[in-house]
C-alpha cells in the first residue's frame, strides 16, 4: 500500500548511541565537537538563566560589566550584561542537550540558521573574556566587520585578537566582536602592544 511517504536512509554519521537515551542526533555544523553557542534569553533574566544552567551542569558564560545604578535615591556600582538578551553556552549541542538548555526558564531560542545552531569561534569568546578580566574600562561598541586585525602581545590584554581602531600614533581601541549576535565591545590600548595578524575567520574558513 502506497502512503505517499517514503523513509529516508538512516544517516549514522550524524548520531550516536547514549545509554538510557537512544539515538542522539548532532547538528551538521558542529558534529561531536564542543563549541560555544549564543542562547537568546528574556531581557533582564540573563543572570537567572546562567544560574539555572550552572545548576544543570551546563557550562555557560554571561559577560558582565560594571556601571553606576540609575536609582535617584542612591548610587552604587552594579554588574549588568554586556550583551542584553544573550547567554553563551559551551557544549556538544546534540538534540538532548539542546532541549535541556531550551527548557531552562527564561531561555527562548538558540541563534541559528536553516542547518541548526551556529557555533561561535573560540577566539571570539576567549578575547571577550580577556577584555572583561583586564579591569580596563570597557565600552559597548558598534559591530564592525572591516578594519586592521591585530593580536595583543603585551600588557593586560595579551592574547586578545580583534579589530584595531586608531586614534593616533600611540593610542588606539581594540574592538572585540561576537559575529553571531553582531555585538562588540572596545577597550583602549597602546599601539606598541599590538602586532598585525591575519583575519582569523578567513584563516579558519581556509582550513575547513
What kind and span of H or E run contains 149?
strand 148-152
Residues in the chain: 208
Task: Report the pLDDT value the prediction gives residue 169, as an integer from 0 to 100.
Answer: 79
Mean pLDDT across the chain: 84
Residues 91 and 97 sit within 8 Å (Cβ to Cβ): yes
- As given in the structure block, the three cell numbers for residue 93 are 549541542
> Where is pLDDT greater, at 65 or 207?
65
Task: Report the pLDDT value the prediction gives residue 6, as an integer from 0 to 100.
Answer: 41
C-beta neighbour count of 117 within 10 angstroms: 23
Q: Which CATH class is domain 15-120?
A: alpha beta
Q: Give strand pairing partners of 52.
A: none
Domain at 122-208: CATH code: 2.30.30
Task: Report the pLDDT value the prediction gives residue 78, as an integer from 0 to 100.
Answer: 85
Q: Which of 2, 1, 36, 30 is nearest to 14 (CA)?
A: 30
Task: Report the pLDDT value the prediction gives residue 70, as an integer from 0 to 100.
Answer: 72
Which residue bears the cell 547538528? 27
Distance of alpha carbon 119 from the chain centroid = 8
Three-state DSSP at 200 gives helix
Instruction: Summarize the confidence of residues 119-140 as an average pLDDT.
Output: 93
Instruction: Summarize the confidence of residues 132-140 as an average pLDDT.
Output: 90
- As given in the structure block, the three cell numbers for residue 70 are 540609575
Task: Report the pLDDT value the prediction gives residue 68, as an integer from 0 to 100.
Answer: 77
pTM of this structure: 0.79
Residue-wise pLDDT tens digits, 5-59: 343 443 444 555 445 555 656 666 666 789 999 999 999 999 999 999 999 999 9
Distance CA 37, CA 102 (A): 12
Report the range of poorest mean pLDDT among 2-11, 148-157, 186-195: 2-11
Q: Which of 127, 126, 101, 112 is nearest to 49 (CA)?
A: 101
Above pLDDT 90, what percent of the chain? 58
Residue-wise pLDDT tens digits, 75-96: 788 889 999 999 999 999 888 8
Q: Which of 201, 203, 178, 25 is nearest to 115 (CA)?
A: 25
Could you state, in order of their start, the residue ranges of all structural domains in the chain?
Answer: 15-120, 122-208
Amino acid at each position: 500500500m502506497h502512503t505517499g511517504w517514503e523513509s529516508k536512509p538512516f544517516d549514522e554519521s550524524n548520531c550516536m548511541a547514549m545509554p538510557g537515551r537512544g539515538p542522539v542526533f548532532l547538528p551538521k555544523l558542529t558534529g561531536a565537537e564542543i563549541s560555544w553557542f549564543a542562547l537568546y534569553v528574556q531581557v533582564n533574566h540573563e543572570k537567572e538563566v546562567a544560574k539555572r544552567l550552572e545548576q544543570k551542569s551546563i557550562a555557560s558564560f554571561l559577560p558582565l560589566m560594571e556601571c553606576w545604578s540609575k536609582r535617584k535615591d542612591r548610587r552604587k556600582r552594579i554588574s549588568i550584561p554586556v550583551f542584553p538578551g544573550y547567554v553563551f553556552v559551551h557544549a556538544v549541542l546534540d538534540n538532548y542537550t539542546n532541549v535541556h538548555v531550551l527548557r531552562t526558564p527564561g531561555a527562548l531560542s538558540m541563534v541559528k540558521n536553516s542547518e541548526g545552531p551556529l557555533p561561535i569561534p573560540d577566539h571570539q569568546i576567549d578575547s571577550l573574556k580577556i577584555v572583561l578580566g583586564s579591569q580596563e574600562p570597557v565600552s559597548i561598541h558598534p559591530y564592525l566587520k572591516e578594519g586592521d586585525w591585530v593580536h595583543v602581545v603585551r600588557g593586560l590584554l595579551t592574547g586578545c585578537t580583534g579589530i584595531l581602531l586608531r586614534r593616533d600614533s600611540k593610542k588606539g581601541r581594540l574592538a572585540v566582536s561576537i559575529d553571531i549576535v553582531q555585538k562588540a565591545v572596545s577597550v583602549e590600548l597602546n599601539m606598541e602592544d599590538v602586532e598585525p595578524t591575519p583575519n582569523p575567520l578567513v584563516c579558519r574558513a581556509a582550513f575547513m
